[in-house]
Chains A and B, each alone.
Chain A
Amino acid sequence: MRHVRSISELGRDRILGLLNLADRMAEINSRPVPKVPALRGRTVVSLFYEDSTRTRLSFETAARRLSADTMNFSVSSSSVNKGESLRDTVETITDMGVDAFVVRHKSAGVPWQIAQWTTAAVINAGDGAHQHPTQALLDAYTITRSRNSQDLAGLRVAIVGDIRHSRVARSNVEAFTALGAEVLLVAPPTLLPPVVSHWPVEVVHDFDSVVDSVDVLYMLRLQAERMNQGLVPSLAEYSTHYGLTPRRVARMSVDAQVMHPGPMNRGVEMVVDPAEIRGSLIHRQVTNGVAVRMAVLFDSLAVEPDHSALREEAR
Chain B
Amino acid sequence: MTIVIKGGSIVGATGVTNADVLIDGDRIVEVGQGLRGDESLDAQGCHVFPGFVDLHTHLREPGREEAETIETGSRAAALGGYTAVVAMPNTNPAQDSVAVVKFVRDQGVRAGLCDVFPSGCITVAREGKVLAPFADLTAVGVRVFTDDGNGVQDPALMRRALEYARTLGVTMAQHCEVQDLTRHAVMDECACSSDLGLPGWPAIAEEMMVSRDIELCRLTGGRLHVLHVSTRGSVELVRQAKRDGLPVTAEVTPHHLALDHELLRSFDPVYKVNPPLRSMEDVLALRQGLVDGTIDAIATDHAPHPPRDKELPLDQAPPGMLGLEYALGVVNSVVDVTPSRLAEVFSINPARIAQIGDRHGAGAVVGAPANLSVVDLAATWRAEDHRSASLSRNVPYRGRSLRGKVRHTILYGRAVVRDGEAMR
Q: Are A170 and B195 in contact (CB under 8 A)?
A: yes
Q: Which residues of B contact A85 (CB under 8 A)?
A: 308, 311-312
Q: Are A170 and B197 in contact (CB under 8 A)?
A: yes
Complex CA gap A105/B313 in Å reads 9
Q: Does A57 contact B (CB under 8 A)?
A: no
Complex CA gap A195/B190 in Å reads 6
Q: Which residues of A contact B44 (CB under 8 A)?
A: none
Looking at the complex, which one of B191, B195, B315 makes contact with A107 (CB distance below 8 Å)?
B315
- Please give me the residue from chain B that is nearest to A127 by CB atom: B197
Q: Are A195 and B194 in contact (CB under 8 A)?
A: yes
Shortest C-beta distance, B180 to chain A (Å), equals 11
Q: Which residues of A contact B189 (CB under 8 A)?
A: 194-195
Given that A87-B311, A107-B314 are contacting pairs, would A113 and B267 also be in contact in the complex, using a CB cutoff of 8 Å?
yes
Complex CA gap A210/B125 in Å reads 54
Q: Which residues of A contact B167 (CB under 8 A)?
A: none
Complex CA gap A198/B190 in Å reads 11
Q: Does A248 contact B (CB under 8 A)?
A: no
Shortest C-beta distance, B243 to chain A (Å), equals 32
A20-65 residues with Cβ-Cβ distance < 8 A to B are none
Q: Does A167 contact B (CB under 8 A)?
A: yes
Complex CA gap A110/B147 in Å reads 32
- Please give me the residue from chain A that is nearest to B193 by CB atom: A194
Q: Which residues of A contact B267 (CB under 8 A)?
A: 108-110, 112-113
The interface residues of chain A, by DSSP majority, are classed as: loop
Q: Which residues of A contact B314 (CB under 8 A)?
A: 107-109, 113
Q: Are A107 and B202 in contact (CB under 8 A)?
A: no
Q: Are B312 and A86 in contact (CB under 8 A)?
A: yes
Looking at the complex, which one of B197, B266, B308 makes contact with A130 (CB distance below 8 Å)?
B197
Q: Are A86 and B313 in contact (CB under 8 A)?
A: yes
Q: Are A196 and B194 in contact (CB under 8 A)?
A: yes
- Please give me the residue from chain A that is nearest to B200 by CB atom: A194
Q: Does B31 contact A (CB under 8 A)?
A: no
Shortest C-beta distance, A257 to chain B (Å), equals 26
The interface residues of chain B, by DSSP majority, are classed as: loop
Q: Which residues of A contact B131 (CB under 8 A)?
A: none
Q: Does B157 contact A (CB under 8 A)?
A: no
Looking at the complex, which one of A109, A167, A193, A196 makes contact with B313 (CB distance below 8 Å)?
A109
Q: Which residues of A contact B334 (CB under 8 A)?
A: none
- A115-147 vs B, Cβ < 8 Å mask (1 yes, 0 no): 000000000000011110000000000000000
- Please give me the residue from chain A that is nearest to B189 by CB atom: A194
Q: Does B198 contact A (CB under 8 A)?
A: yes
Q: Does B156 contact A (CB under 8 A)?
A: no
Q: Does A12 contact B (CB under 8 A)?
A: no
What's the tally of chain A residues with a CB closer than 8 Å to chain B? 24
Q: Which residues of B contact A131 (CB under 8 A)?
A: 197
Q: Does B139 contact A (CB under 8 A)?
A: no
Given that A194-B202, A195-B191 are contacting pairs, would A165 and B197 also be in contact in the complex, using a CB cutoff of 8 Å?
yes
Q: Which residues of A contact B191 (CB under 8 A)?
A: 195, 197-198
Complex CA gap A194/B201 in Å reads 11
Q: Are A107 and B316 in contact (CB under 8 A)?
A: yes
Q: Are A113 and B315 in contact (CB under 8 A)?
A: no
B204-233 residues with Cβ-Cβ distance < 8 A to A are none
Q: Which residues of B contact A195 (CB under 8 A)?
A: 189-191, 193-194
Q: Does B140 contact A (CB under 8 A)?
A: no
Complex CA gap A283/B390 in Å reads 57
Complex CA gap A194/B205 in Å reads 14
- Please give me the residue from chain B that is nearest to A111 by CB atom: B267
Q: Which residues of B contact A166 (CB under 8 A)?
A: 197
Complex CA gap A15/B198 in Å reads 25
- Please give me the residue from chain B that is nearest to A131 by CB atom: B197
- Please give me the residue from chain B that is nearest to A130 by CB atom: B197
A146-196 residues with Cβ-Cβ distance < 8 A to B are 165-167, 170, 193-196
Q: Are A128 and B311 in contact (CB under 8 A)?
A: no
Looking at the complex, which one of B190, B198, B202 makes contact with A108 (CB distance below 8 Å)?
B198
Q: Are B313 and A110 in contact (CB under 8 A)?
A: yes
Q: Does B196 contact A (CB under 8 A)?
A: yes
Looking at the complex, which one of A113, A128, A196, A198 makes contact with B198 (CB distance below 8 Å)?
A128
Shortest C-beta distance, A59 to chain B (Å), equals 21
Q: Which residues of B contact A112 (CB under 8 A)?
A: 266-267
Shortest C-beta distance, B207 to chain A (Å), equals 16
Looking at the complex, which one of B195, B197, B202, B308 makes contact with A128 (CB distance below 8 Å)?
B197
Q: Are A108 and B194 in contact (CB under 8 A)?
A: no
B280-317 residues with Cβ-Cβ distance < 8 A to A are 308, 311-316
Q: Which residues of A contact B266 (CB under 8 A)?
A: 112
Complex CA gap A120/B203 in Å reads 40
Complex CA gap A123/B313 in Å reads 17
Q: Which among B311, B313, B314 has the greatest number of chain A C-beta atoms within 10 A?
A: B313
Q: Which residues of B contact A194 (CB under 8 A)?
A: 189-190, 193-194, 200, 202
Q: Are B196 and A109 in contact (CB under 8 A)?
A: yes
Q: Are B313 and A107 in contact (CB under 8 A)?
A: yes
Complex CA gap A130/B193 in Å reads 10
Q: Which residues of A contact B315 (CB under 8 A)?
A: 107-108, 128
Shortest C-beta distance, B305 to chain A (Å), equals 14
Looking at the complex, which one of B195, B198, B200, B311 makes contact with A86 (CB distance below 8 Å)?
B311
Shortest C-beta distance, B372 to chain A (Å), equals 42
Shortest C-beta distance, B353 to chain A (Å), equals 35
Complex CA gap A198/B315 in Å reads 24
Given that A87-B311, A107-B315, A112-B267 are contacting pairs, would A167 and B197 also be in contact in the complex, using a CB cutoff of 8 Å?
yes
Complex CA gap A167/B194 in Å reads 11
Q: Are A113 and B202 in contact (CB under 8 A)?
A: no
Q: Which residues of A contact B200 (CB under 8 A)?
A: 194
**Chain A positions near chain B (C-beta within 8 angstroms):** 85-87, 105, 107-110, 112-113, 128-131, 165-167, 170, 193-198
Q: A87-B311, A130-B196, A170-B197 are in contact. List 5 more A-B contacts (CB 8 A).
A: A108-B198, A108-B315, A128-B198, A131-B197, A194-B202
**Chain B positions near chain A (C-beta within 8 angstroms):** 189-191, 193-198, 200, 202, 266-267, 308, 311-316
User: Which 10 pairs of residues, A with B, have the shortest CB-CB distance?
Assistant: A109-B267, A129-B197, A107-B313, A193-B194, A130-B197, A195-B191, A195-B194, A112-B267, A107-B315, A109-B314
Q: Can you list 17 residue pairs at the A/B interface with Cβ under 8 Å?
A: A85-B312, A86-B313, A87-B308, A105-B313, A107-B315, A108-B198, A110-B267, A110-B313, A113-B314, A166-B197, A167-B197, A170-B195, A194-B190, A194-B193, A194-B194, A194-B200, A195-B191
